[in-house]
Structure 1
Amino acid sequence: MTEPTPNSSNASSSKNEESISTSLPELQDLSNLVLGDFRLLRRIGSGGMAEVFLAEQISLKRNVAIKVLRSEMLKGSDDVLLKRFEQEAKSAATLNHKNIVQVYAIGEENGIHYIAQEYVSGMNLSEFISRKGPPSVAVALKLMVQVAGAIQAASEAGIVHRDIKPENILLTRKGEVKVADFGLAQLTQSGKRVNLTQVGMTMGTPLYMSPEQVNGKPLDVRSDIYSFGVSCYHLLTGKPPFHGETAMSVAVKHLNESAVPLAKTRPDLPKVLCQIIERMMEKEPAKRYSDALALDKDLRTVAKTLKKKPDEVKQLSLTKISASNQPEKSNAQKGDSKIDRFFFWNRKRHLMFFLIIAIPLAGLSATAGWFLRPRNPFETIPQEKTNTVSKLKTPQDQYLSAQYLVNDEQAWRAVIQYFPEDQLYKPRAIEQLGILYIRRKRFDDALEMYQQLEQHQIDKTSRAKGIAGRAVIASLQNDHKRSQKIIVSELLPLKSELDMRTDLGSELGQYVSETIRRNRKVLGDEVKKGSEDLFQNDSKPIDNTGM
């Protein structure tokens, strides 16, 4: 769970939260402790359920975030509760989505239960709102679409988050969303009525709880959609819709009171966006979106209209866009009266029907068998693999579709194949393919992608990414000298023109940092110090792990 950031717009809840949080017992300093494959480096955050440490994964030489569960959360817990938590955490670890913080491992060492997850450098949504206030509609929609995608991906895997709130929505420096703590809320909210007075229960959680969650009823994705709607309300107004002196008083308002209409608080917002959020925040689950996919489609429709036809956004309504986003009914859904009548034929009529079609079918089967017989492999001409992804109208639409599918190789290749002359989205798709291939250890394919990026004559950033990718792959293939030479002689000279930390992107930048450390460990003094300064003097990101 994440520790809410005090918000000046909500002084009462911040004060209450502080008084509750100060009652939490301090964990001993676990810096330098080794838990399995992870060495804790320093504490970087603290929340109601866990302490968070920056750690090094020893085997892969990469930074990770380790959440060490507070011992008092486990006191009195039976084996069934711990087993349920472990099962849900393992399920969360199977989630592989661009907008979800990746869970790498869970474990227990000498009575210390921990979760190892992706380390995210940036700020959470609560901090973003506190520092910058409500964003533009375009930025808000961009963030909302990404969170909706994360919730839908988890829902398809059978996972309900249970604690969607701004503190659990992390933002990278490039504006990418990472939703944290899938599975962690199960430890304290496993089908029981929530204890709003328990130690570690900050104001952050009840501010965003769904009514059914407060009542201890069974939860599904619609509960997450409600909490997300409340978070969106906070994002666009600068404060949550409900306030109170205690966690209990806030929770009761979720059950019994309606929020001030968003359209009244922010009359400048598009009417349709207010309607979407109001639907997300309906008290009755049946009146909300049934899943995050439908929500995602509506948000994308608004975002697309805002970008291409901004004057028409004011005319949009939820009824209109929801109707246009409904999939057409299949023949099976519509029902086919002829097929229905077939099943009411008498036996004689059925017999005649099958005799009529049996003879032609026998001949057809024989013919098909001849043509479908196995070919001589030496006579077979290999066919070029075609892309099964449909072509969309614009390269932007194609790229956004690939982003939605995340790890679909064909989706990224579709951007490249269908829009070969595009100078914006084609390089981005090539970059995403390179990263995808590195993850899958297809280093030769990844190298091909980065070589293509390096040849990009217009964009210096793409060229730098191509060089960086080559250096990473050389190191992963154990050619550390060549890797280091690429970094020092080709990548480092570009430092004066680019902000490496920002321009390389969070994932590729992390790979480069790991490459430098790996090369230094193998080559020792042969590594020139200049390579270690590649990211120095760039704007330093804010460390944040969702606490």
Structure 2
Amino acid sequence: MSKSRDFLGPYRLSRLIRIGSTAEVWEAVDDTDMQKKKYALKVLRSNCANDKSEVAALKHEFNVGKALSSPRIIKVVDFIADKGRPFLVLELFSELNMKQALRKGPEPLGYIVDKIVEQAAEGLYYMHTKNWIHRDIKPDNYLVARDGETKLIDFTIAETKRTGISKLFYKAKTVQGTRSYMSPEQIRGKLCDERSDIYSFGCVVYELVTGKPPFTGQTPNDLLSKHISASIPSAAAQNNNVTSELAGLIKRMMAKKQEDRPASVWEFLKEYRAIETWRKRPRVPEESVFDEVGGVKSADDMVKRPGS
């Protein structure tokens, strides 16, 4: 699928936005639509197209996403398989995820961080009200536009919230998540709830205001052990422009025990809106990180681009 005129179903692939280990994300045009409406297609790569587990994960993402309707969450439109390639049809939104937007540190986003944090939290809170636990909250799974509009994406490993007797018999089949952002209970394969996502979101807010995740490790196991037992770092110590109030809130979000964290994302939002993020508000940068988004036409182009 390296030519811009290639089709999947009614969708003409116009430009590759991003490529990952299992999927490609394309900008596409619905040629059956009079207005030639644009969408994003999340397409399983050819080496994964017949992998039952990958196809099941994509279907699961569709089933979760189709039930969610919020301006803070990416709209999932359809699940289709064409030419042996299963794919999701998604709302087309910003090309930069939060991780990419942070590639030059927190300063270029500093002037809109308040908006980003609030909208990111609103999307997560909405998902929780629909009894879904995301379980993979990280900067990569938030799309950010140049004005700060933010949407939550990727529901591949989301689980329904367990209640009643089902909580007592929960046992994770496999430990899933992203090591830099996983809560202690998720690492241990224990039951995750809203507070597990709050831990991960605390890691995200820490990275938004400091430019780096709260923990790093020499090995994967070293990194995981720090989430379980290492003291929680202070965002204010990493960036002296961060207020002590926000640094304290992040620490509570990342408490080792679930009961020591804010009880809900709504409780976090109420507190966050009552405090200042910065000691001195950052200025609007002369050059925006969003100005550097360049189009590519094929998977080969994306692979060759430095830092892609």
Partners of 2:3 and 2:220 lie apart in 1 by 31
Partners of 1:541 and 1:120 lie apart in 2 by 16
Q: 1:540 to 1:287 in 2, by over 3 A?
A: closer
2:62 to 86, 89, 97: 89
Which has the larger strand fraction? 2
**Taking structure 2 as the reference length, what is the TM-score of the superposition?**
0.76
Look up the SS of the partner of 1:91 in the other structure: helix
Q: Aligned letter for 1:228?
A: F
Structure with the bigger RCO (C-alpha within 8 Å, sep 6+) is 2
Residue 193 of structure 1 is matched in structure 2 by: 174
Residue 108 of structure 1 is matched in structure 2 by: 81
**Could you list the per-position Cα deviations for residues 253-306 of structure 1 after superposition, in whole angstroms to 9, with x for gaps in the alignment?**
212212322233334422221121111111222221222111111112225xx8
TM-aligned CA deviation for residue 194 of structure 1: 2.9
Q: Is the 8 A contact 2:232 2:251 kept in 1?
A: no
Structure 1 residues 483-502: aligned runs within 5 Å: none
Residue 184 of structure 1 is matched in structure 2 by: 156
Partners of 2:2 and 2:111 lie apart in 1 by 43
**Could you list the per-position Cα deviations for residues 320-363 of structure 1 after superposition, in whole angstroms to 9, with x for gaps in the alignment?**
xxxxxxxxxxxxxxxxxxxxxxxxxxxxxxxxxxxxxxxxxxxx
Q: 1:83 to 1:248 in 2, by over 3 A?
A: same
Structure 1 residues 145-294: aligned runs within 5 Å: 145-181=118-154, 183-186=155-158, 191-194=172-175, 205-294=178-267
Residue 319 of structure 1 is matched in structure 2 by: none
**Could you list the per-position Cα deviations for residues 497-530 of structure 1 after superposition, in whole angstroms to 9, with x for gaps in the alignment?**
xxxxxxxxxxxxxxxxxxxxxxxxxxxxxxxxxx
Residue 542 of structure 1 is matched in structure 2 by: 293
TM-aligned CA deviation for residue 237 of structure 1: 1.4
Q: Aligned letter for 2:85?
A: I
Q: Aligned letter for 1:69?
A: L
Look up the SS of the partner of 1:163 in the other structure: coil
Q: Is the 8 A contact 1:146 1:177 kept in 2?
A: yes
Residue 167 of structure 2 is matched in structure 1 by: none
Larger radius of gyration: 1
Partners of 2:76 and 2:202 lie apart in 1 by 25
Q: 1:137 to 1:131 in 2, by over 3 A?
A: closer
Residue 64 of structure 1 is matched in structure 2 by: 39
TM-aligned CA deviation for residue 122 of structure 1: 4.6
Partners of 1:216 and 1:77 lie apart in 2 by 23
Q: 1:275 to 1:123 in 2, by over 3 A?
A: same
Q: Is the 8 A contact 1:193 1:217 kept in 2?
A: no
Look up the SS of the partner of 2:133 in the other structure: coil
Which has the larger helix fraction? 1
Partners of 2:49 and 2:258 lie apart in 1 by 32
Q: 1:137 to 1:65 in 2, by over 3 A?
A: closer
Unaligned runs of 5+ in 2: 160-170, 281-289, 296-307
Residue 8 of structure 2 is matched in structure 1 by: 35
Look up the SS of the partner of 2:78 in the other structure: strand
**Could you list the per-position Cα deviations for residues 218-272 of structure 1 after superposition, in whole angstroms to 9, with x for gaps in the alignment?**
3222222111110111111121111123333322221221232223333442222
Partners of 1:192 and 1:73 lie apart in 2 by 22
Q: 1:58 to 1:212 in 2, by over 3 A?
A: farther
Indicate the RMSD between aligned Cα atoms, in angstroms: 3.2
Q: Is the 8 A contact 2:58 2:87 kept in 1?
A: no
Q: Aligned letter for 1:233?
A: Y
Partners of 2:194 and 2:249 lie apart in 1 by 16
Q: Work out whether 1:119 is the aligned partner of 2:92.
A: yes
Structure 1 residues 344-363: aligned runs within 5 Å: none
Q: 1:137 to 1:34 in 2, by over 3 A?
A: closer
Residue 500 of structure 1 is matched in structure 2 by: none
* Number of residue equivalences: 274
Partners of 2:247 and 2:128 lie apart in 1 by 24
**Could you list the per-position Cα deviations for residues 6-60 of structure 1 after superposition, in whole angstroms to 9, with x for gaps in the alignment?**
xxxxxxxxxxxxxxxxxxxxxx647544333322223221113311111112333
Q: Aligned letter for 1:194?
A: V
Unaligned runs of 5+ in 1: 1-27, 197-204, 312-538
Partners of 2:79 and 2:241 lie apart in 1 by 46
TM-aligned CA deviation for residue 116 of structure 1: 1.3
Partners of 2:45 and 2:172 lie apart in 1 by 21
TM-aligned CA deviation for residue 92 of structure 1: 1.0
Partners of 2:126 and 2:260 lie apart in 1 by 21
TM-aligned CA deviation for residue 147 of structure 1: 0.6
Residue 164 of structure 2 is matched in structure 1 by: none
Q: Aligned letter for 1:166?
A: P
Taking only the aligned residue pairs, the percentage that are identical comes to: 32
Q: 1:84 to 1:137 in 2, by over 3 A?
A: closer
Partners of 1:249 and 1:69 lie apart in 2 by 32
Look up the SS of the partner of 1:115 in the other structure: strand
**Could you list the per-position Cα deviations for residues 196-232 of structure 1 after superposition, in whole angstroms to 9, with x for gaps in the alignment?**
9xxxxxxxx3111222222222322222211111011
